[in-house]
Amino acid sequence: MRNIKRAAALFAAVATAAVGAFAAAPAASAGAGPTCPNDGYNHLCLNLFYNSNFGGAGETFWDNPIPDFGPYKFEWPGLTDAGLGRSVKNNAASGYTQVRGWPSKTWATIYYNSNYGGACDAIAPNAKAYQLHYTYNNNASMTWAYTGTCYQFQ
């Protein structure tokens, strides 16, 4: 009887672990990091840089809007280490978008204020902003939408 209880407990533990492993595997990730994911899933990515012309340190955001850049830092060195470890908020000077996995017409819009307010710069899919216009070193949030009132980089 004791061996049957152990076997049943072991079977339950293995089954739970297997179900947990399948349930924990996301279809796609969202977040921030050094590069746009190239994992076979669809991703919208915005790469921001500390200096104009994609110079200095950088940070990449993918898939989800960012209501406040405050907690994020430029975490990977670019051509130089300028800005490495500094807050992305009010320090981005240039950026570009990347679309991975599907053709998309979704723009990245960078806002002057947190929570998607104020003046804005909009970067078209797979386009470059060598120097941000309205949000140059005054950027606080971003979203994956275009309102039509922003400075456009195409």
| pLDDT tens, position by position, 132-147 | 999 999 999 999 998 7
Q: How do residues 41-76 score in pLDDT, each as one tens digit?
A: 889 999 999 999 999 999 999 999 999 999 999 999
Neighbours of 51 (CB within 10 A): 19
Strand order in the sheet with 108-113: 141-143, 108-113, 117-123, 151-153
Q: In the chain, what are the domain boundaries?
A: 28-153
Beta-ladder partners of 66:
142
pLDDT band at 129 (very low <50, low <70, confident <90, very high): very high
Give the predicted TM-score (pTM) of the model.
0.78
Mean pLDDT of 74-86: 92
Return the half-sphere exposure (C-beta side, CA atoms, 13 A cut-off) of residue 140: 9
Would you say residue 26 has pLDDT above 60? no
Residue 110 Cα distances to 3, 34, 62, 135, angstroms: 62, 19, 13, 7
What distance in Å separates the CA atoms of residue 93 and residue 154, rounded to the nearest whole number? 17
In percent, the amount of the chain with pLDDT more than 70 equals 81
Tokens at residue 17, please? 């672990």
What superfamily in CATH does domain 28-153 come from? Crystallins (2.60.20.10)
